[in-house]
Structure formats: C-alpha cells, structure tokens
Amino acid sequence: MESGNQPSVFSDLLVTHTMGNHLHDTTKWCRFISIVGIVFLFIFVIAAITAGTAIAPVVENVFPGMGIAVDNFLLIAMILFVAVFGVLTFLLLRFSILTRRGLELRSQALFNDGLKALRFYLIVYGVIGIIEIILNVAGLFSF
C-alpha cells in the first residue's frame, strides 16, 4: 500500500510513511485526551462521594418518603456513568499505546490490536449516541 513515489517506512505494517506520521500524531492526542478523561473521572468520583452526604437531606425534603429510592437511582446512574466513561477512556488509551508501540516496533500484531481497541471505542460511542438520539426524540413527543 504505497502511495505515489514515496516508499513505505513501515513496510511490515502495510502503512505508508504519511499514514504512519498521521497515526503517530493521532496516538499522541488520543493519549492526552484519555489522560484528561481519567483525571476528570477521578474528580467526578471524588465530587460524587463528597456531595453524596449533602444531597441526601435535600432529596428527602424535595421527595418526602422517596429519599432512599432517589438516592439509589442517583447511585446507580453515577456508577453506570463511571463504568461507561471508564471503558471509553480505557479503550482510547489502549488504542494510543498499542498503535504507537506497533508503529515504533513495526509490529503488525500490536498495530492491529490498537486498531481493534479503536474499533470497540467507536462502536460503544456510536451505541451511546444512538441511545441519546432515541431518548431525545422520545422526549420531544412526551408532552
């Protein structure tokens, strides 16, 4: 897969020099974004733990008799958010690490594993997007 007259530096990976450079730059940004995501995830967890004690009395005042049910719902929603966001961040970091290592070591197996992680990331993100679209459309029709 060589383009034009440019010989491939990554001949074992079936990647041209330009593609390798773009993928290398992409892995840097993906690693940065995933590290920022991990930091925000930890900040969210710490904020949820500290705010949980302050939220419980307010929920009991707003929804008398349903405080425990609402608290449990919020806990499940937070756990679900942390789990999904954690998986997405992990997959993005995995793509970044494996693809970059595959490019540097000219290892087709590492390169393919990195692209597989990116594929799973995009699948999960797409499913979440479709669910959000469905919920938004359903919200339009529930007056």
10 by DSSP, 3-state: which? strand
pLDDT digits (tens, 9 = 90+) for 55-72: 777 777 877 777 777 778
Residues 6+ apart with CB under 8 A from 32: none
Q: What is the pTM of this model?
A: 0.77
Residue whose token pair is 């529930």 = 142
pLDDT digits (tens, 9 = 90+) for 35-55: 999 999 999 999 888 887 777
